[in-house]
Structure 1
């Protein structure tokens, strides 16, 4: 009998790989989760720059009397559709997260580390959905809007760790670079996170609040923007130092390539940031800058995970339901 996992159509095979996962398909689902979580962070910024933040003025309903967009005298239908479309994307992110959980639980042999990381995804998506309701109820308060983005950053980190761990064993972590170089990598990751936090402050102070009724941080936009640029210089400096250290210490090629990719993304993001500043922050460039921010974060996570490796599994693992059903009795 021909199994769905042997189907000639690769899309059908991918769909059924959730139930009969392999190491490769587990990594593919984890990477898909990274992509969709990064994507919804960017589309969320799209909601803001199009002034659609309150396109659906209530939560969980779009309007007080409907879950879907309906004509409303005080809200543009276009803004309503933009906001509602972003809400619908939450279900895609949740579906991919559930696929990761099922794959992790069905993987033979089952790995506790992967199952734990996978479970963070649907839990995080549900938390994000509830936080989205708070964003609406606070009329796009810049703090709640900023936290919405930072929660996405945390989810992306969990998804990336699932992707990285799915390609490794469960043995002890084995460093592939000197201890001080790894410390530099962690310092770089912390600096990138600080850069994102300050960037949230810039977004909450400047234009593109998401709606005319939204409040703003009572800060000097010039001062906050300069602070953001200063932290960016620190990040680029740390990245260059890490790249140099990896080169002179002859670290493995994947680690050097990861650091080089991070530096390239940072430089592109810097050019984009200065361009939007001198062009008075056009909405399209803000959207691209948010995309660049997520790419910088993912590239930084890649650098850190490239500085260590894990041996094949040494500790006993749980057996998947499929494996347990077909296992012979112990003698």
Structure 2
């Protein structure tokens, strides 16, 4: 059975690729959702480590302290050791979830959707990379050149988790564009600028007051004010492109998910901008930086959806 569509028109889905309904027994959907939530959660716990100066609460790796995997009473790091160790324990949990995703995908789709199965291996690979990089960060004493990639990989895994959830609801036919070509191009450009915004955000963090260690101040060495304003300029460009997409989605016929994704992306970006300016002018208080981190993860979710909903399989 073939599928045809024109930009802006609904796509007829063949009966043999209709996505299974969500439900309590849909273990693939549950596993993929747990993977996405877990990767957002570890961004928050990692942020808590940095914001409380607990980055070296466990001064060695893979052990917490020489001779012990877990924190000990002899450590001088105080409560920092529990915060750092707690964040480390999220990684094996994510590893179990990622393995769960891959096993369920192999069992259900190895003979029918092998490409999707291969995509489901990415979360497990990401956990391994992050665990190794986390150890390098400790051994490098929180050098921001290692911390920034750690955060950016987490954002990539959030984007990948969103992608896997979306792909699970699709078939494996060739993607077909469901918005005008110019709108799809604009969505990709906007996503690219969004990625630049995230990278510059790590430069701001790596130049600001929250080094991740209560005793040391290991920073990039960039001027924090100049870096913050460069980041803000990129945000302004992104907002302009997002507004353009929201306007386009109301001037031409596009699917509702595409319009809704960019509405949410613009709304979260505006909220993120307000939080960013407030934290800049108030000395970057810990609570606001934590909110900024959470919004960054949600921003990536809707930005990914904004690109994905421009086409259907």
Q: What residue is the counterpart of 1:262 in the other structure?
A: 265
- CA distance in 2 between counterparts of 1:61 and 1:303 reads 41
Q: What residue is the counterpart of 1:102 in the other structure?
A: 103
Unaligned runs of 5+ in 1: 1-12, 18-23, 311-331
Q: What residue is the counterpart of 1:190 in the other structure?
A: 192
- CA distance in 2 between counterparts of 1:235 and 1:43 reads 27
Q: Structure 1 residue 99: deviation in Å?
A: 1.1
Aligned ranges 1:1-331 → 2 under 5 Å: 24-76=26-78, 78-108=79-109, 110-211=112-213, 212-310=215-313
Q: Is the 8 A contact 1:141 1:214 kept in 2?
A: no
> What SS does structure 2 have at the residue aligned with 1:269?
helix
Unaligned runs of 5+ in 2: 1-22
Count matched residues: 289
Q: Is the 8 A contact 1:117 1:159 kept in 2?
A: no
Give the CA RMSD over aligned residues.
1.3
> What SS does structure 1 have at the residue aligned with 2:210?
coil
- CA distance in 2 between counterparts of 1:220 and 1:86 reads 30
Q: Is the 8 A contact 1:104 1:110 kept in 2?
A: no
- CA distance in 1 between counterparts of 2:309 and 2:171 reads 14
Q: Structure 1 residue 214: deviation in Å?
A: 4.1
Q: Structure 1 residue 37: deviation in Å?
A: 0.6
Query: When the two structures are superposed, what TM-score results if normalisation uses the length of structure 2?
Result: 0.89
- CA distance in 2 between counterparts of 1:140 and 1:64 reads 18
Q: Structure 1 residue 106: deviation in Å?
A: 1.2
- CA distance in 1 between counterparts of 2:29 and 2:217 reads 40
Structure number with larger C-alpha Rg: 1
Q: Structure 1 residue 271: deviation in Å?
A: 1.1
> What SS does structure 1 have at the residue aligned with 2:312?
strand
- CA distance in 2 between counterparts of 1:213 and 1:242 reads 44
Q: Structure 1 residue 187: deviation in Å?
A: 0.6
